[in-house]
A and B are shown apart, each in its own frame.
Chain A
Amino acid sequence: MSKIDSKIPAGDLETKWTKYKSSVPLVNPSNKRNLEIVVVGSGLAGSSAATSLAELGYKVKVFCFQDSPRRAHSIAAQGGINAAKNYQNDGDSVYRLFYDTIKGGDYRAREANVHRLAEVSSNIIDQAVASGVPFAREYGGLLSNRSFGGTQVQRTFYAAGQTGQQLLLGAYSGLQRQIGLGNVQMFARHEMLEVVNIDGKCRGIIARDLISGKLERHFGHAVLLCTGGYGNVFYLSTNAMACNVTAAWKAHKKGAYFANPCYTQIHPTCIPVSGDHQSKLTLMSESLRNDGRIWVPKRKEDAEAIRNGKLNPNDLKEEDRDYYLERRYPAFGNLVPRDVASRAAKERCDAGFGVNKTGEAVYLDFAFNMKYKYGKQVATLKHISNPTEAQLTEFGHEVIKEKYGNLFDMYKQITGVNPYENPMMIYPAVHYTMGGLWVDYNLMTTVPGLYALGEANFSDHGANRLGASALMQGLADGYFVIPYTIGAYLANEISVKSISTDHEAFVEAEKNVQSTIEKLFAVKGTKPVDFFHKRLGKIIWDNCGMSRNVKDLTKAISDLQALREEFWKDVRVTGEANDFNPELEKAGRVADFIELGELMCKDALERNESCGGHFREDHQTEEGEALRDDEKFKNVSAWEFKETGNWDLHQEELVYENIKIAQRSYK
């Protein structure tokens, strides 16, 4: 085990980034024109990075597997984006955003990175508004804010329940502009299948044209992986169907360390599973917890009556309901961080208080605030002094519709139940992965010239990400970090001419990809790819999900090794290599997920403590909260790939100079 250096610049936390920015080597404009950068992924991180770098004058190539860069999964983010603007005059500051994020991450994130994130958060909002993102506004014409979990201020900017869509379309329009100007070459429907290293530096990628099936070689002086998270290892998650770990995993196998793979975020408010046919889960935004109150019945017999359809939840009296988050965490109430809210839901359901047929659901109820918060407000505005209950509901309905309309519609589409009239039923589901490729302060992985941005890296959220911080991080990395930090590397590359893709490293990398594809077809087994993906998902969810223990994790590792073997003996991949072939795409991704799953369990086993989303049953307080072991685990686990199923562990010590670390409390 060795220690790794995160290259955090010296100096005070508050001035570190500013000073560093002014001292990073620059690349002059005429040299930028000769430097090529490959960007893989076109979500918030990829689009904003590619656009900003192209504006600076670099030659940029962007790759995405979707048919258009606009479809990257950032598009589906609902609730909002945080920024320390303090527009609400409620005491927010860069320090508070920094502090909330470190605390929310259960003291497992890097101070310097998080402070930088908080510092640039304001610029992101300015940038987005200037590029035409239509955020929600108040009647005075200024921007509106709401609250998210783990904070006591209103710092979240939003566009109804479609904030990710609006931010991505903003970044995408900038990207399209650069494409139109010829500064970016776009490769849609292309999937990266290998990184190419030459003399210890990353020099390009192998990509497959998903329509023709042809393999292509692309050179870059630097390569940026902006390829998102690996939540689909669970099969059922809120991720899009094609979200995958393949790009990051190929990089990992070529020398990039993988950090904290066991830190996954189980989001508390998702639509519960309805049956075996289910292909994905749908999130109901955390923003709903501003106005929705979470509860289950106080008595088990009421829960049972509800499950059997004998009792309508609307008829259950106020005093018979257990608003368990408000009860357990009076200071933060329904707005506790996600890991805390998820575990609390699981605890109630495991204890027999679940409210749907499977027993795995709790209520998210808007009736109270619809009537008594918004209904009353509107009634007052209309000068109605004694509004009826029906009037209050009617008035409140309109306000709720404006705030969350698209989410309510989506809920109704999926469940067939009208959430304006009945409380929503929700249950935790996999949503985000805090772990990812290890990067230093410059966002560079352990392979020189290879960077990871956005959800693909591990750096800013520790063991639990706060709501509305993923969009912030993706855009921070792309708009305001990488344009500066990449200079530290590229300033030394100005004399390097473009390397021909006939170079033997490219030839060999392409050969490897080709042989993996051939191997997949050659299995000629009996089971479709999805069969293995579902089994993988079940193993990970059951053993490395919301709560973990040594026995299950140990068994999961051997189960996954067996699954890997079975996959390579019995998978059936239909169609041809040189064709548009979604089955082949899936097969490659699932093969990588199975390997990753093993590493996740290994990491969860190795981390002998609980922190944030990583909850080990053998490490909890008397009240059932995560119990950290700061003596041994105040560090980042960074795994080095040796061979399939075999890794070396390295550690980065986390140093807290500006925050006093403590047991996290939201009471």
Chain B
Amino acid sequence: MSGNMNINLKVWRQKNGKSQGKLVDYKVENVSPDMSFLEMFDVLNDRLINEGKDEPIAFDHDCREGICGSCSMYINGRPHGPNQGVTTCQLHMRSFKDNDTIVVEPWRSAAFPVIKDLATNRSAFDRIIASGGFISINTGNAQDANSLPIPKGDADDSFAAAACIGCGACVAACKNSSAMLFVSAKVSQLALLPQGAPERATRVINMVAQMDAEGFGSCTNTGACEAECPKQISLTNIARLNREYYKATLFSNEG
């Protein structure tokens, strides 16, 4: 078909968490511009299986519509590739040119160890949420949903923070491997809602402590996280987290 491309890939191959990895060259021919980046990997993997020499490349993916947060490729030095506000699965080959060379690596962070090839272990994020990213209510004792009006602006800001998909691009983008954007998104979502108020202080203290315990780096406000976030979570959330944290440590009984 006209307009189809040949693409040169350099892909990180690593047998498992213990072995050494390396970049391996693959040429993928006749790539349609309408293909998604992951569909190009499907085509390559089909070929690798047919050839029977190399194992197919392992990578995380699931919904392929930009919402589950599974996909996680570090493409030409940028998490999720060249486009803003887009996950790897929603990146399409029309964003590349014929004969482009594309380097594909897994997320880079000690807190996200490689499992195999491009798949990493991001369970640290789950543990951070388990340390305080919730409202402690049990099923069945909620009051009527409209008994607590929430200003639309607050609800909208809370939603914008809650749009985080937990993919880890913020960590991968950060030179310090900081998870501040991720943590601040959850802290902000709940701090902006009256329902989150009772646990405001404990939440931020516990989540920051868990974040540190997981080995994520510190935030130096470079802003790479915001620039690379596929859901365009705002850096303002980090400022809010800092405010919440200082308030909690200085003025609450929890500090």
Contacts and interface: CB of A to CB of B under 8 A. Distances in A.
Interface of A: 48, 51-52, 55, 66-71, 73, 75-76, 85, 87, 123, 125-132, 134-143, 159-160, 162, 164-166, 169, 172-174, 176-177, 179-180, 186, 188, 211, 238, 240-242, 274-275, 277-280, 282-283, 409-410, 413-414, 416, 479-480, 483, 526, 528, 530-531, 572, 574-575, 579-580, 582-583
Interface size class of B (residues with CB under 8 A): 35 or more
Interface stretch (B59-67, B171-179, B212-220, B243-251): B59-67
B75 to A, nearest CB: 15
A410 B60 CA distance: 20
A274 B36 CA distance: 11
B30 to A, nearest CB: 10
Contacts of A278: 39
B130 A179 contact: yes
B112 to A, nearest CB: 10
Contacts of B151: 141
Interface of B: 16, 32, 34-36, 38-39, 42-43, 45-46, 48-50, 52, 55-56, 58, 60-70, 85-86, 90, 92, 94, 115-116, 119, 121-123, 125-126, 129-131, 133-140, 142-146, 148-152, 155-156, 158-159, 162-163, 165-166, 189-190, 193, 195-196
List 7 A-B pairs, minimum CB-CB distance, nearest first: A141-B149, A130-B142, A180-B130, A173-B134, A126-B142, A134-B159, A176-B130
Contacts of B52: 572, 574
Contacts of A580: 16, 58, 115-116, 119
Nearest to A137: B155
B62 A530 contact: no
A632 B189 CA distance: 53
Contacts of A139: 152
Contact of B39 (A125, A142, A277): A277
B152 A176 contact: no
A76 B56 contact: no
A176 B133 contact: yes
A195 to B, nearest CB: 24
Contacts of B125: 68
Nearest to B66: A410
A179 B68 CA distance: 21
A129 B135 CA distance: 10
B139 A48 contact: yes
Nearest to B47: A528
A66 B70 contact: yes
B149 A68 contact: no
9 contacts: A71-B166, A85-B146, A132-B189, A139-B152, A143-B146, A414-B90, A414-B92, A580-B119, A582-B56
B146 A87 contact: yes
Contacts of B68: 66, 71, 73, 75-76, 240
Contacts of B196: 132
Given A188-B126, A414-B36, A580-B119, 7 more contacts: A73-B68, A76-B63, A130-B142, A134-B159, A139-B152, A141-B149, A142-B146
Nearest to B192: A134
Given A528-B46, A528-B49, A528-B50, A410 B65 contact: yes
B55 A575 contact: yes
A275 B133 contact: no
A140 B148 CA distance: 11
Contacts of A530: 42, 46
Given A139-B152, A143-B145, A479 B92 contact: no
A228 to B, nearest CB: 12
Contact of A574 (B56, B119, B133): B56
Contacts of A131: 134-135, 137, 142, 195
Contact of A173 (B56, B129, B193): B129
A173 B135 contact: yes
B162 A71 contact: no
A277 B42 contact: yes
A172 B155 contact: no
A162 B67 contact: yes
A572 B144 CA distance: 55
Contacts of A176: 126, 129-130, 133-134
A159 B159 contact: yes
A249 to B, nearest CB: 20
Nearest to A159: B159
A417 to B, nearest CB: 11
Contacts of A531: 46
Contacts of A165: 67, 163, 165
A426 B65 CA distance: 16
A173 B196 CA distance: 12
Contacts of A76: 63, 65, 67-68
B146 A160 contact: no
A129 B116 contact: no
B139 A483 contact: yes
Contacts of A409: 85
Nearest to A166: B162
A188 to B, nearest CB: 7
A413 to B, nearest CB: 5
Interface centre among B125, B143, B162, B193 (most CB of A within 10 A): B162
B32 A277 contact: yes
Given A165-B67, A241-B62, A528-B46, A126 B90 contact: no
Nearest to A87: B146
A138 B155 CA distance: 10
A483 B143 CA distance: 19
A85 to B, nearest CB: 7
A471 to B, nearest CB: 14
Contacts of B158: 132, 134
